Homo-oligomer: A and B are copies of this chain.
Amino acid sequence: MEIRNTICKLFNIKYPIIQAGMVWCSGWKLASAVSNAGGLGIIGAGSMYPEVLQMHIRKCRVATEKPFGVNIPLLYPNIQEIIDVVIEEDVKIVFSSAGNPATWTGILKETGITVVHVIANTKFALKAQEAGVDAIVAEGFEAGGHNGREETTTMCLIPIVKAAVNIPIIAAGGIASGKSMLAAFALGADAVQIGSAFAVAEESSAHPAFKNKIISSAEGDTKLAMKKLVPVRLLKNEFADAVAQAEAEGADRTQLIALLGKARAKLGMFEGDLENGELEIGQVSAMLQEIKPAKQILEEIWQDYRTGLKRFRDLHDETK
């Protein structure tokens, strides 16, 4: 059971399923596990110093012979050093996000790297296409972590972006099952990028307490916060409540920056402080019930997708 779609060909992978690069979750262990299972694993450079990223790339290469990528938030302070590491270490696939794709795409493409840029609105989808990226990730409002200001949901974003660009689209936000993967394909996506479901994988470097909080969370337990800075979706806790309170009272950027402080995401996601940390996760956390190996997560999604596809084939034939 193999599918040869555009994105599978672009990355030379078996399944059109990409594991999102996530701060404090997706190091070499998770990325290599996903790649070994037939998806595309991605090392999230956003929480790594350049030398730490270098170590993760090297360990990933030892752990898998399959293709893998690196996600680089372009607003990263040492961005030049991170780009240098990626080029020196001969990384073949880069997913860039949170910044202007015009700045780095050309440089990466010149060295032969396949480049994908993450967008949350049509304007940046067009900018990314113009910059020459090979594909885009279109990420909806329901996604965990940093998010778009327009709040466009996956259901609306995918068809709107599809109508605007002519490069392949990887849907992200709200996707954690084969059913939602099939929905993304119905909307016009060529592949899916999955974050939250892999954040709770056994191989994720997230703190066990954070993983347990994710799998015990319910619908309505996440919130888009910090809209006056960079919007971020996180689990509600003492920190998120304090932010919500400050925002309701009209806190400005300076006050929010002070409230955020430093290393909040590390504190919550990596060190397991569930009340004072920033716990970035998507709305689909409500659907996650179990900590499982990445391979099992990927294969269950694929089987669920195939079941849905078969149901649709039967529905088509029934209603001719």
Chain A residues within 8 Å of B, Cβ to Cβ: 1-3, 121-122, 140-142, 149-157, 159-160, 163, 173-175, 177, 179-180, 182-188, 218-220, 223-224, 228, 248-251, 283-284, 286-287, 306, 308-310, 312-313, 315-317, 319-320
Contacts and interface: CB of A to CB of B under 8 A. Distances in A.
Given A121-B219, A249-B250, A153 B141 contact: yes
Contacts of A160: 219, 286-287
Contacts of A179: 159, 186-188
A96 to B, nearest CB: 21
A4 to B, nearest CB: 8
The 8 A-B pairs of least Cβ separation, nearest first, read: A250-B250, A155-B174, A150-B220, A183-B183, A182-B186, A183-B186, A153-B153, A156-B283
22 contacts: A1-B319, A1-B320, A2-B319, A121-B219, A122-B218, A142-B153, A142-B155, A152-B219, A152-B220, A153-B173, A153-B174, A153-B283, A156-B286, A156-B287, A159-B179, A159-B287, A179-B188, A180-B186, A182-B183, A248-B250, A309-B316, A313-B317
Nearest to A319: B3
A153 B144 CA distance: 13
Nearest to A246: B250
Contacts of A175: 155
Contacts of A224: 151
Contacts of A220: 121-122, 149-150, 152
A154 B153 contact: yes
A219 B124 CA distance: 12
Contacts of A141: 141-142, 151, 153
Contacts of A248: 228, 250
